[in-house]
Structure 1
Amino acid sequence: MLQDGTSPQQLTNLKKRDIERIYQAKDIITQNITNPPSLIELARQVQLNERKLKQGFRQIFDTTVFGYLHDYRLEQACQFLMTGQMNVAEVSYAVGFANRSYFAAAFRKKFGINPKDYQGQWRKKSA
């Protein structure tokens, strides 16, 4: 069983080496959350062709490369908002969103609550 719950048999057309490279690609984008490489550059860094990277990423993580990054950014935003050490604009910037209103809309879409309200809930719980 792989880290994401996928069995190796489900990854029929991916070699072990390809799977390792796809996990490496995931690590690269999560470590460069505010300035990720382009898809072409990412493929080059992990030594896969772009098609193999895109297909393999979808197969392993059930989303696109940048869909994964988008969700990861929002999850990180939750962590930052919970600490209360940054305001919403700072969190938005810290996780790689250049536009605060786009960040707020994406956050609302994923979690069903405004980032400011989410942060407020955590302040009440810690008070």
Structure 2
Amino acid sequence: MSKRTLQTGFRAVFGVTPFVYLTQQRMSHAKRLLQTADRTVAEVANLVGYANPAQFASAFKRQFGLSPSECLGHR
């Protein structure tokens, strides 16, 4: 199966590309961790696959409109 065929089929089923879907899932998991676990933003960033906490914070803010630190306050 070609990359293009996979992306087209995936988008038809899920409405987004595989990359966007993966990012959404990672961010949803990160939000749950921030709200429920006693972890730092850097620890959560690492757990969901970001080596750089600043890049994680930018992606998180794009996804949810608030920073990971603000999300910590909603525990």
Q: Does structure 2 retain, via aligned residues, the 8 Å contact 1:84–1:119?
A: no
What's the offset of the Cα at 1:120?
Answer: 1.4
- Structure 1 residues without counterparts, runs of 5 or longer: 1-47, 123-127
| DSSP 3-state at the match of 1:121 | coil
What's the offset of the Cα at 1:49?
Answer: 2.5
What's the offset of the Cα at 1:57?
Answer: 0.7
Give 2:20's aligned residue: 67
1:95 matched to 2:48:
yes
What's the offset of the Cα at 1:84?
Answer: 3.0
Runs of 4+ that moved beyond 6 A = none
Q: What is the CA deviation profile of residues 87-111 of structure 1, one whole-angstrom value per residue up to 9, with x for unaligned ones?
A: 1000001001121111101111111
Amino acid at match of 2:12: Q
Bigger CA radius of gyration: 1
Alpha-carbon distance in structure 2 between the residues aligned to 1:111 and 1:56: 27
Q: TM-score, normalised by structure 2?
A: 0.90
- Give percent identity, aligned residues only: 40
Provide the aligned C-alpha RMSD in A.
Answer: 1.1
| DSSP 3-state at the match of 2:74 | helix
